[in-house]
């Protein structure tokens, strides 16, 4: 099991939020402690990180602010107050007169900050380096794959509910119920027909979403909830492993997986596009689209919900036949 320090654990519990610095849109995760911080940034093609402790913060502050004499606790509180709102997707307080600027240095990304501390200019630089594949997997890929598994589970339950609702409506009709408003008439739900119509009618309209960077509040909430459950499951498995526990996604990639077969940026971009679109419009299609993603990552795709729904339908028909015989 992976070991994570406190900043890593803290940032893992946070959702990705969209932020804009200058004309660049990013997804960000930022944890600020008393005298430490951990920052993750992604443009869906790359991910950058920086992890700073008290001593490192003190050293950089002295390099960037030659006249700074305040203890690290004092100026770090100021840094947190002006940087945290920006990196959490909020608009920072205009009274702080803080200015942010992004610069690329090769594969590195630097977020420069200029503000005022006690009437004196205060400078800071978040010097982010490319995040390793393990961090990309832990902070983005595994949680997002887990989110798709949760959405699939939700779809299975909703599909089964639609089948039962259709049976309920049919029973009303057979007992003389009449719909008073014709515009409310609907056809019985058929998943296969629905998928075919979606592929032919809705998928062609997805082109505008290919470069879309979104992670709305509902997905953020689901991301946090899934991470919380995953963390609890890890703790339970460390005490008493059980094969019966519901598992979102495997914790380890297959040892035979070729990491060069699918770049991290491709995973990130594809995952966010599908989540943003399908979770809001048609989560039934998530399974089909993420089958490729699971296979590329060396993971076993989840079992299709079709067989389960077929069994539900058969059970329902048997129940109805039994009710008819009793009558």
Please give the residue that has the higher pLDDT: either 145 or 5. Answer: 145
Percent of the chain that is helix, strand, coil (3-state, to 5): 55, 15, 30
Token code pair at residue 81: 């107050």
pTM above 0.75, yes or no: no
Contact 123, 113 (CB under 8 A): yes
CA distance 297 to 171: 46
Q: Where are the beta strands (DSSP E) in the chain?
A: 17-21, 24-32, 37-42, 47-52, 99-105, 108-117, 120-130
pLDDT at 195: 77
DSSP string, 117-162: ETTEEEEEEEEEEEPPHHHHIIIIIHHHHHHHHHHHHHHHHHHHHH
Query: 211 pLDDT exceeds 90?
Result: no
pLDDT at 164: 93
To which residue do tokens 């943003």 refer? 276
CA distance 26 to 33: 22
pLDDT at 225: 86
Query: 31 pLDDT exceeds 90?
Result: yes
Contact 61, 75 (CB under 8 A): yes
Beta bridge pairs of residue 311 = none
Enumerate domains of the chain plus CATH numbers: 6-131 (2.170.210.10), 135-236+256-321 (no CATH)
CA distance 282 to 277: 8
* Region 43-60 average pLDDT: 94
**pLDDT, tens digit (0-9, with 9 covering 90-100), for 287-315:** 444 444 445 444 444 444 454 455 555 55
Contact 222, 208 (CB under 8 A): no
pLDDT at 235: 66
Query: 61 pLDDT exceeds 90?
Result: yes
**pLDDT, tens digit (0-9, with 9 covering 90-100), for 118-157:** 888 999 999 999 999 999 999 988 988 888 888 889 888 9
To which residue do tokens 């200019």 refer? 121
Provide the mean pLDDT of the chain: 76
């Amino acid at each position: 099991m992976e070991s994570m320090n406190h900043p890593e654990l803290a940032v893992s519990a946070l959702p990705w939020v969209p932020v804009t610095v200058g004309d660049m849109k990013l997804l960000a995760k930022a944890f600020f402690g008393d005298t430490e911080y951990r920052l993750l940034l992604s443009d869906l093609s790359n991910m950058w990180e920086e992890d700073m402790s008290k001593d490192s913060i003190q050293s950089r502050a002295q390099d960037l602010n030659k006249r700074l004499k305040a203890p690290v606790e004092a100026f770090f509180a100021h840094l947190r107050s002006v940087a945290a709102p920006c990196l959490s997707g909020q608009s920072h307080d205009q009274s702080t007169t803080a200015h942010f600027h992004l610069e690329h240095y090769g594969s590195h990304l630097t977020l420069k900050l200029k503000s005022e501390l006690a009437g004196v200019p205060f400078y800071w630089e978040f010097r982010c380096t490319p995040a390793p594949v393990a961090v990309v997997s832990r902070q983005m890929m595994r949680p997002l794959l887990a989110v798709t598994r949760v959405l699939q589970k939700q779809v299975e339950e909703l599909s089964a509910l639609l089948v039962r609702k259709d049976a309920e409506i049919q029973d009303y009709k057979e007992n003389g119920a009449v719909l008073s408003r014709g515009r409310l008439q609907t056809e019985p739900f058929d998943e296969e027909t629905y998928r075919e119509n979606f592929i032919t009618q809705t998928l062609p309209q997805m082109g505008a979403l290919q470069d879309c960077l979104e992670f709305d509040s509902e997905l953020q909430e689901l991301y946090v909830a899934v991470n919380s459950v995953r963390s609890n499951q890890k703790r339970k498995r460390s005490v008493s492993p059980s094969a019966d526990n519901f598992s979102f996604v495997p914790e380890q990639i297959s040892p035979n997986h070729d990491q060069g077969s699918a770049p991290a940026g491709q995973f990130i971009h594809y995952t966010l596009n599908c989540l943003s679109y399908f979770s809001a419009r048609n989560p039934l299609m998530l399974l089909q689209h993420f089958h490729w993603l699971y296979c590329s990552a060396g993971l076993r795709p989840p079992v299709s919900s079709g067989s389960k729904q077929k069994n539900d339908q058969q059970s329902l028909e048997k129940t109805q036949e039994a009710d008819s015989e009793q009558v």
